[in-house]
Amino acid sequence: MPKDQIFELLTDPGGSAHGPTLKVGVVGCGYWGSKHVRVLTAMPQVALVVAIDHDPSTLSSLARRFPQIGTASALADVGAELDAVVVATPARTHGALATEALESGCHVLVEKPLATSVVDAERLVRLGDQRGLRVMSGHTFEYNPAVWKLRTILQQGSLGEIYHIYTARLNLGLFQGDVNVVWDLGPHDISIVNYLLGSRPTSVSAWAGALGHQPVEDVAYLRLHYPDIGLVAQVHLSWLDPCKVRRVTVVGSRKMAVYDDLADDERLKIFDKGIDAAEGAAPAHGQIAYRRGGSECPYIDFREPLAIEDRTFVESILAGEPVPSDGRSGLAVVRVLEAATESMRLGRSVDISYGANIEPGHAAPVEPVPAATVGAGSARNGSRPAIGTEFGEAR
């Protein structure tokens, strides 16, 4: 689209019967960026969407699908006229593009990871604070109703004492050219576990191997230590697996839960399974009773997480409210990723320092749930605090 037409749209995008509106740019219009364009163009609070990409064929294709959008080849051409920007480009460009958007006066939503270094992520948080602009991390699973439901179940203590959480995010590909599997897939599971527990790990142990595509690591295992609630979470990541897996398993003393993002009709299942050891008995054969009850699938009013995320971003800006999964939440995940990278290099556990000026992020917008302790019974590591309390109650 010619620059004079873009300028005309930007300066007079038209009114709305729904009140104030925003002009939003989407930088990077590939697979994920194009989804943001689709969602944002359907929102009445968005007067204009500008697709920004250096590839003319990508812009032409989007313009045919969404003739109401504007297009531009660079953020610098239109940034000063926009209200907000979504950054959906390769990971190593996130820090620079988000900085450019903030310096242009735009609120910014950055797809995961927020940046590829703690220094860059801190700079974004600081710049957003200084300019009074929203910095939102694209932790899409924090806007997933199935994850909300699982968090509610944990907070209510329905599973009992939480023994263990482990996740698996596996597939054959997609190999990324600028980051390894830890930085590509890890942000999803780290943010999910942090959100479910309302806590952040204080140390991480990580192993990764460049097995099929050297020198980029394509398989990794992370152990996240949450000493405040006496829990260790394990994360398995792979671009080199025959099966596509997107699963989170929570093992409790009463029940167990499995969140499977690929199971459309049964995304969340609760299993009445576990073990019941005799009081004071050693865990020897014959002294443990195995409980093998049935399973249930709680009702979930499922809606597209990306649509919830984008709507939350836009409505938070218009209402002048903090955004959930804010820049500090994204920075906390980047700190874990950077510590995991160091752990891979050193071959040992690495402590994670969050800094005195970094507060935890906000919970995603979900119906209020009562605070609760982590089940009944004796904890192996002493009395544990409540699940999900550090981030505050969900809204």
What is d(CA 327, CA 87) in angstroms, rounded to the nearest whole number?
Answer: 13
69 versus 389: the higher-pLDDT residue is 69
End position of a domain, from candidates 138, 160, 176? 138
- In this structure, is residue 152 part of a structural domain? yes
Q: Percent of the chain, pLDDT > 90?
A: 76
Is the pLDDT at 284 greater than 70? The verdict is no
pLDDT recorded at residue 275: 85
End position of a domain, from candidates 70, 105, 138? 138
pLDDT recorded at residue 277: 66
Q: Reduced to 3 states, what is the DSSP secondary structure of residue 276?
A: strand
376 versus 219: the higher-pLDDT residue is 219
- In this structure, is residue 389 part of a structural domain? no
| 246 in Cβ contact with 261 (< 8 Å) | yes
pLDDT recorded at residue 287: 73
- Report CA 236 to chain centroid distance, whole Å: 16
Q: Say which CATH number the domain at 217 has.
A: 3.30.360.10
Are residues 289 and 159 located together in one domain of the fold? yes
Are residues 40 and 89 located together in one domain of the fold? yes
The token pair at 232 is: 């260790």
Are residues 118 and 260 located together in one domain of the fold? no
Are residues 215 and 192 located together in one domain of the fold? yes
Q: Reduced to 3 states, what is the DSSP secondary structure of residue 55?
A: coil
pLDDT recorded at residue 108: 98
Q: What is the CA radius of gyration of the chain?
A: 22
- In this structure, is residue 266 part of a structural domain? yes
Region 197-226 average pLDDT: 95
Are residues 244 and 263 located together in one domain of the fold? yes
Is the pLDDT at 370 greater than 70? The verdict is no
- In this structure, is residue 373 part of a structural domain? no
Q: Render pLDDT for 16-57 as a digit per residue (tens, 0 to 9).
A: 555 789 999 999 999 999 999 999 999 999 999 999 999 999
- In this structure, is residue 18 part of a structural domain? yes
Please provide the distance, in angstroms rounded to a whole number, between the alpha carbons at the two ends of the chain. 41
pLDDT recorded at residue 147: 98
- Residue (of 50, 46, 49) closest to 16 by Cα position: 46
Are residues 210 and 342 located together in one domain of the fold? yes
Average pLDDT in the chain? 87
End position of a domain, from candidates 138, 170, 205? 138
Are residues 39 and 111 located together in one domain of the fold? yes
pLDDT recorded at residue 387: 52
pLDDT recorded at residue 380: 32
pLDDT recorded at residue 280: 55
Q: Render pLDDT for 123-138 as a digit per residue (tens, 0 to 9).
A: 999 999 999 999 999 9
Are residues 206 and 342 located together in one domain of the fold? yes
Are residues 167 and 191 located together in one domain of the fold? yes
The structural domain count of the chain equals: 2
The tokens 């550090």 sit on which residue?
Answer: 390
- In this structure, is residue 90 part of a structural domain? yes
Are residues 161 and 288 located together in one domain of the fold? yes
Domain that holds residue 262: 142-306+334-351
Which of 29-38, 87-96, 239-248, 355-364 is predicted with the least confidence, judged by mean pLDDT?
Answer: 355-364
Is the pLDDT at 15 greater than 80? The verdict is no
Per-residue CA distances from 156 to 113, 159, 194, 233, 238 (Å): 30, 8, 17, 20, 33
Burial degree of 124 (CB within 10 A; 0-12, 13-18, 19+): buried
Are residues 196 and 89 located together in one domain of the fold? no
Region 244-256 average pLDDT: 97
pLDDT recorded at residue 306: 98
Which of 61-65, 108-112, 243-247, 362-366 is predicted with the least confidence, judged by mean pLDDT?
Answer: 362-366
pLDDT recorded at residue 278: 58
pLDDT recorded at residue 356: 58
Burial degree of 382 (CB within 10 A; 0-12, 13-18, 19+): exposed
| 127 in Cβ contact with 103 (< 8 Å) | yes
pLDDT recorded at residue 365: 42
| 224 in Cβ contact with 232 (< 8 Å) | yes
- In this structure, is residue 293 part of a structural domain? yes
- Give the CB-side neighbour count of residue 73, counting CA atoms within 13 A: 7
The tokens 């080199």 sit on which residue?
Answer: 240
- In this structure, is residue 370 part of a structural domain? no
What is d(CA 290, CA 307) in angstroms, rounded to the nearest whole number?
Answer: 42
pLDDT recorded at residue 328: 97
Q: Say which CATH number the domain at 31 has.
A: 3.40.50.720
Are residues 180 and 131 located together in one domain of the fold? no
Q: Render pLDDT for 138-188 as a digit per residue (tens, 0 to 9).
A: 999 999 999 999 999 999 999 999 999 999 999 998 998 889 999 999 999
- Residue (of 251, 254, 217, 252) closest to 237 by Cα position: 217
